Amino acid sequence: MDMILDAIKKASIEIKNLIETGDTGKSQNQNSTGDTQLKLDIASDEIIESYFKKLSNVKAIVSEEQESVIDINQNGEYLIAYDPLDGSSLVDVNLSVGSIYGIYKDDFKGSNIVASIYVVFGPRVELVYCDGVSVKMFRLQNGEFNYIQDIKLYEIGKLQAPGSTQQCWYPYHKTMIDDFFKAGYRLRYSGGMVPDLHQILLKGGGLFSYPSTTDLPKGKLRQLFEVFPFALVYKCAGGGAIDGKHDLLSIKTLHIHDTSPCFFGSNDEIKKVIEVYKNNG
Ligand code: P6P
């Protein structure tokens, strides 16, 4: 795992430089889910893939920016699914973005995830590593990633990050979101999954939701390289991660670009979601 972590650190330093100086324009290409790819998406993906291709312990990789699985080394121990630059369109308005990595063994599915890493490119570059037990944060300082702290969630939080288009929410979901705000939760939503989830973790708790909606019944966020990596982080930080009814790491993956409705949060908030969704959705 150290070789993978080291490769991600080196790739992240190159991606940081790319964000600061690269072309943020659109490419002529679309990714597998039909999103127009930004030049930053493609360039970040190329950087990461170039590092992973050198690792003897990596069997195959899956990227949000590429249609199919890429075989690396048939004797490799690990499978990696990654989103090279999630929320890349936010770079144009100078908001934080991030990379997300899920490390799997034997098969690309939630129950086989063994570690996750995400990197936040914001005022500071921070890397969070979850080995399935603890959640550790590192900060880029003078070219090195230095350990800063372990991350733990309180049983209840204060922040709410309600994703997707509100007009497409089901009534029971809208009522639940409104009830959290009536209880005094503060709205914290930038449209970037990585900084939005990182903020809730560092502030001790709350709820991030990207539900099933009338326009996206299976949600928007991808299982292998967005949902499952953060599900592992939130569970290891002492919180929960569900699709409304089930533990996210127990759901089935039929295709490498499958999505899932998702809720990440402190235990008290997750219990409230389960209460609302047990008779709905
Ligand atoms: P919406 C960014 O495009 C992204 O994939 C995630 O980073 C983010 O949480 C979500 O989409 C935002 O989607 O529909 O709320 O704008």
The fraction of the chain above a pLDDT of 90, given in percent, is 93
Residue 29: per-residue pLDDT: 83
Residue 28: per-residue pLDDT: 86
Whole-number Å distance, alpha carbon 57 to ligand 1 midpoint, is 32
Q: Which residues line ligand 1 (CB under 6 A)?
A: 86-87, 163-165, 191-193, 220
Angle at CA of residue 106, ends 59 and 241, nearest 5°: 115
Residue 141 burial (CB < 10 Å; 0-12/13-18/19+)? exposed
Whole-number Å distance, alpha carbon 192 to ligand 1 midpoint, is 6
Whole-number Å distance, alpha carbon 55 to ligand 1 midpoint, is 31
Q: What residue ranges define each of the domains in the chain, with the CATH number in brackets?
A: 2-150 (3.30.540.10), 159-277 (3.40.190.80)
Pocket test for ligand 1, best of 41, 119, 220 (most atoms within 8 A of CB): 220
Residue 273: per-residue pLDDT: 98
pLDDT in tens, 220-272: 999 999 999 999 999 999 999 999 999 999 999 999 999 999 999 999 999 99
Q: What is the average pLDDT score of the chain? A: 96
Mean pLDDT of 83-105: 97
> Above 90 in pLDDT, residue 186?
yes
Dihedral in degrees, nearest 10, Cα atoms 275, 173, 258, 52: -80
Report the nearest-CA residue for atom 1 of ligand 1: 164
Residue 135: per-residue pLDDT: 98
Report the nearest-CA residue for atom 14 of ligand 1: 164
Whole-number Å distance, alpha carbon 191 to ligand 1 midpoint, is 5
Mean pLDDT of 60-69: 96
